[in-house]
Structure 1
Amino acid sequence: MAILVSARTLSKYQHLYRSGRCLCTSHSNDPKDTIGPPIKAWKYVINKLNRLVEASERKLETNLPKVYKAYNTVKCVRFIILDTRTYFSVATNMWTGRELHTFSRRELEIYQEMPRDLVKVVLLLLAWAIPVVGNGFLIIGYWFPRVFFTHHLWNESQKQQFGCHKLAHRINHYHQVLQAMDHKAYKHTEGETRDALMAILDKLEHSDHPSPEELLSLKHLFESSPFSLEYLSTHYCRLLSKANGLSLRRSSLSQDALIALHIDRAMMKEGIVNLSDSDMCTACLKRGLNPYGLTRDDRMQFLLSWTSITQKLDETGVSLLLHSPALLTYNATSNIQLMKGKRYKWRRIAPI
């Protein structure tokens, strides 16, 4: 993988984090700090699910058989319930106007991830509250954990396997993002701006990556025409959604990207150096890099490169964040190894 941050810079950043300082942005780069409330139907569903989870928890405490303790699921179930409670709490606070920068990294991650797990959570709690059904569900889930269980019930090996499986699907769309970017750059840019974009694409074609400084020098292109989300076609936005593993709806994609910006800021505030190995691997996976086979310093270098870009963005520049997995990890050695030679090789289509 191309080294994006020098060892000297890494040492400097580590010192800043250990001393309790973080790389804060100026006020002009701060993104939008609140999100609007959802439609009434979704609020109704959330409230119903909240009451259902609370009722299921009470039944679980009463009917949980000893066999589940033998399988060490009690602790996992407690984590599921705690994360579910956190999601409902964060969602309620956000919808009433609480500012995003006041939440922790973990709270924002739960808010972003939990909706996908809610159906599984409800099914798990309902099944485990019924002794006979619970046993059957546990057996089925044992054979198909990625389908029926949430990440709370996966062991470390499964977390790695399923995380890489999801990332591989995302990587399959990177070349499509780059092709769409190539076409749009040729049609809608000119002069020095086009030359700079083509230089970045040339690097990617020849197994290299652009530096954060090179990408930031073109930030304005992602804040307005031609690469701001409002200027992209529905097809282009769907490619970005698939490359990032986010919602396919344009409005939801924009909000997910805004929350991702605040997650980056919370991670910087809490200190990247303070992340556990497991959390650091998860952070790399979410940002498009296969962390397995890399050292902790390699992972940290990538996260520092990533945040050196996102700290300069606000809500108008979220498109650059959404392009970053392809721009920063397309030629990463660990990603190429993950694809086992099946990676789609991108070739320039637009003439220079």
Structure 2
Amino acid sequence: MLPSDWAMKFIIGTSRCYAVKNCRLLNFENSTYKNHRFFRNAVVLQLPNKETLKTDTKLPVVPPYISAKNVHNVNQSLSNEKKKDSSPNNVKQINTLNERKMNDPKILDDSTFTLRLINRIQHLSPSTAKYARLSIFGCKYLYKDIIVLLSAYKKSFFTDLSALTYAELELKYRLPLQLVRLTPILLCWPVPFTNFLLFPLAFMLPKYLLSEHFWTDEQLKEFWTKDLQNNFEHNVRVFEHLSLMAEECSDEMLLKWFRVIECLGAGGISPVDDIIQAIPVFTMYPYHFSTLPRQHITVLLKMYNMHRGWRRRVRLKKLAHFIQFMDKAIESEGGPNKLNDKQLQWACLFRGLNPFSSSRETLVLYIEDWIKISSKIDYDSLSCILHCQVLLALNRSENNMFRKTE
């Protein structure tokens, strides 16, 4: 026998003489005897976990006392019942439950506590709950876009821009400027007691201190339409310069170009085939990159929201190449139909068309016409791609709202 058995027998034997007179001591004796039997046989019996005890499955009834000879039989009965429970139907039920747990958005979402806290705050002040949601989801979207941007920089460092997808090219063009807006907040964040002033100020001036990830849908529409309205004024000036420069040229190819200019001057929309036939004009004087006037270069920089500092022509050439790479990426990925709504809206906005006053089908047709022209442009006629939004979207009905505000 084990030493623990001798000790328990001694305790029980010495306490039996007082058990008749004291009921508490009798209860203590029974409890110690049961606990001793449980701990002695716990390793051998291998009882199931707590999770299985909560289920409705019937467990085997263990007798009050088990001798060492019958322990092996009990273990065999337990193993047989486990084999019965591990039937294919039960396994399927367990797998379906695990799949539900894994696909549950409450489990997958890391910010359940914060969202519950925001829902409680919403009853007290809905405006603070709204801005808290914007900050949480904005940080998530910003983090995802930064990861995509870093992968795009890594790919472009080792290979050419042609290896990038359209989403990576779009973020490579848009996100750096938005990160510049966030620099005051990122620099002042570690300073103590600045959050009380910094965050209210940022939400008061979201266009200048926050990126698009923290904007509401109304703010996004408002700011995008304002930017397009400013660009439309420069489009009109670019068209005036194009019509004045056409008078300085004399060639047979300019007859097709005059047809495009006259159609736009009359308030119509020039056909895509006429624009494609007039592309060789941009290889001649004065429409070539090297011969464009300085005033025209300045207006083009304003139209694309670029600074008017050093290396103007070089930066415009890089922008034209970048636009052509984006067009090729859209075409290689299945066309503009494969873009989501926000990507399609920004693509039309960047190419001079108002995306909020038209349907998705018209936006897709506009991008398809743009890609048809872009695919016919080579290195010598690269300046044509910078004027495509003037040639395609100047007299579109979607941009009429900007004409009325002139």
TM class, shorter-length:
0.7 to 0.9
Counterpart in the other structure of 2:223: 162
Q: Encode CA deviations 1:228-261: one digit per residue, 9 max, x unaligned.
A: 2111022211212222334542211110121111
Q: Which residue of 2 aligns with 1:178?
A: 239
Whether 2:299 is the aligned partner of 1:262: answer: no
Find the counterpart in structure 2 of residue 273 from structure 1.
337
Match of 2:400 in 1: 336
The residue identity in structure 1 corresponding to 2:331 is M
Query: What is residue 141 of structure 2 aligned with on the other side?
Result: 79
Contact in 2 for aligned 1:244/1:287 (Cα 8 Å): no
Alignment of 1:83-162 (within 5 A): 83-94=145-156, 96-130=157-191, 132-162=193-223
Q: 1:155-194 deviations in whole A, cap 9, x for unaligned?
A: 111111111111111100112111111121110233x323
Residue pair 2:267, 2:395 contacting (<8 A) in 1 also: yes
- Give the counterpart of 1:293 among 346, 357, 360: 357
User: What is the CA-CA distance between 1:204 and the residue it aligns to?
Assistant: 0.7
1:286 positional shift = 0.6
Give the secondary-structure state (helix, strand or coil) at the position aligned to 1:260.
Answer: helix
Shift of 1:85: 4.1
- Secondary structure at the aligned position of 2:404 is classed as coil
Distance 1:233 1:340 in 2: 26
**Aligned partners of 1:206, 1:159: CA distance in 2, in Å?**
33
Q: Report % sequence identity.
A: 21
The higher radius of gyration belongs to: 2
Asked if the contact 1:246–1:253 (Cα under 8 Å) also holds between the matched residues in 2, the reply is no
The equivalent of 1:252 in structure 2 is 315
Kept in 1: contact 2:254–2:278 (CA 8 A) = no
Residues 178 and 326 in structure 1, CA contact (< 8 A), matched pair in contact too: yes
1:204 paired to 2:264: yes
In 2: Cα distance, 1:91 partner to 1:111 partner: 8
* Residue-by-residue CA offset, 1:109-139 (whole Å, 9 max, x unaligned): 1111233223223333334445632342221
Give the deviation of 1:97 after TM superposition: 4.6
5+ long unaligned stretches in structure 1: 1-63, 344-352
Computed over aligned residues only, the root mean square deviation of the Cα atoms, in angstroms, reads: 2.5
C-alpha distance 92-247 of structure 1, shift in aligned 2 (>3 A): farther
1:189 maps to 2:250: yes
What is the count of residue pairs matched by the alignment?
Answer: 278
Q: Which residue of 2 aligns with 1:59?
A: none
SS of corresponding position for 2:337: helix
The answer as to whether partners of 1:222 and 1:317 remain within 8 angstroms in 2 is yes
CA distance in 2 between counterparts of 1:295 and 1:131 reads: 48
Which one is further off, 78-87 or 135-144?
A: 78-87
The 2-side partners of 1:148 and 1:180 are apart by 35
Which residues in structure 2 correspond to 1:22-33 (within 5 Å)?
Answer: none
Distance 1:284 1:132 in 2: 42
Q: What is aligned with 2:275?
A: 215
Name structure 2 gaps, 5 residues minimum: 1-113, 119-127
Is 1:170–1:244's contact at 8 Å kept on the other side of the alignment? yes
When residues 124 and 316 of structure 1 are mapped into structure 2, their CA distance, relative to the original with a 3 A threshold, is: farther
Q: TM-score, normalised by structure 1?
A: 0.72
Counterpart of 2:296 (choices 210, 227, 236) is 236
Describe the SS at the equivalent of 2:357.
coil
Which deviates the most, 135-144 or 156-165?
A: 135-144
Q: RCO higher in 1 or 2 (8 Å CA, sep ≥ 6)?
A: 1
Which one-letter code corresponds to 1:324 in the other structure?
A: C
Cα pair distance change 1:247/1:255, threshold 3 Å: farther
